Amino acid sequence: MGPSAIRYAGLAPALERIGHRVRDTGNVSVSVMESRAEQNPQLRYIAPILETAAALADRVADSCALGHLPLVIGGDHSLALGSIRGATRRRNLGVIWIDAHGDFNTHETSSSGNIHGMPLAALCGLGDARLVKLGNPARMVNPRNVVVIGARDLDDGERALMQHASVNVIAMEQIDRIGMHAAMQRALEYAMQGTDGIYLSLDLDALDPLDAPGVGTPVPGGITYREAHLACEMIAEAGKLVGMDLVEVNPILDERNRTGILAVELAASALGKRVWKE
């Protein structure tokens, strides 16, 4: 339902208005959760998630090979395992992960077993081998080129993993202290150092629930509407964006599709929309 909400909010027309050609390749097939048996409570629904992620990785890799910029909409953040694996198939990328959560758990640290809390760790080579080795080839992301922005809800185990792996975290208290402009300057420097480009993975729960109510795991005290746009605008200005995720839009929890509309607005900012260009 998340992709439908974002499409309904006018994603394609919004991007066409700023000069992009848009080709919607449709949905990747996703199993209905209630129709699948859950065999491992520490890695919930891993089989269908792997199926979906592998199919998505191929689709994103094909898009990149054609010189296109893949924009992946969802849906929970486990999809980033497929999207970023596909984008890194031929390139070494830095990752800017805008999220209230770290998504750096493994099956050994997670208290829920939800794989949407594990994709970033797997992309960096940590966790269950089936998640880590997904892709052809399964190119790992260098944790030193990963920046998590807006974090304000980290589990103890994932915090320790992130520190050990040298992931760059710009948490909300740091944004409060230095401002989003300085935070994004730092993030871009980390993500672009020695890489071929940037992949942006944007979880709408990074924003304050007052601005983005339609998410599954809201956390108070998040990034403001304007801070989120500034972050996306600075990524566009850097000229290094090669792919993007928009995730965790849940229309059942939303108010008149406010979060779907916000997702469209942020995609447009990340892809070049400006009120005024000098």
- Which active-site residues does the annotation give? 77, 99, 101, 103, 116, 203, 205, 248
Rounded to 5°, the CA angle 126-127-133 comes to 80
Is residue 23 helix, strand or coil? coil
Q: How far is CA 224 from CA 35, 205, 250, in A?
A: 38, 11, 19
Distance, first Cα to last Cα, the chain: 39
Q: Tell me the pairing of strands 146-149 and 168-170.
A: parallel
Q: Do 175 and 100 form a contact (C-beta atoms < 8 A)?
A: no
Q: Which of 243, 236, 161, 128 is nearest to 196 (CA)?
A: 243
Q: Which of 194, 243, 236 is nearest to 88 (CA)?
A: 243
Task: Count each helix (H run) and each strand (E run) in the chain, helices first.
Answer: 10, 6
Q: Do 271 and 263 form a contact (C-beta atoms < 8 A)?
A: no
Which residues lie closer than 8 Å to 100 by C-beta, 6 or more apart? 150, 151, 152, 153, 203, 205, 206, 217, 218, 219, 222
Peptide bond into 213 cis (omega under 30): no
- For residue 100, the 8-state DSSP code is S
Size of the chain in residues: 278
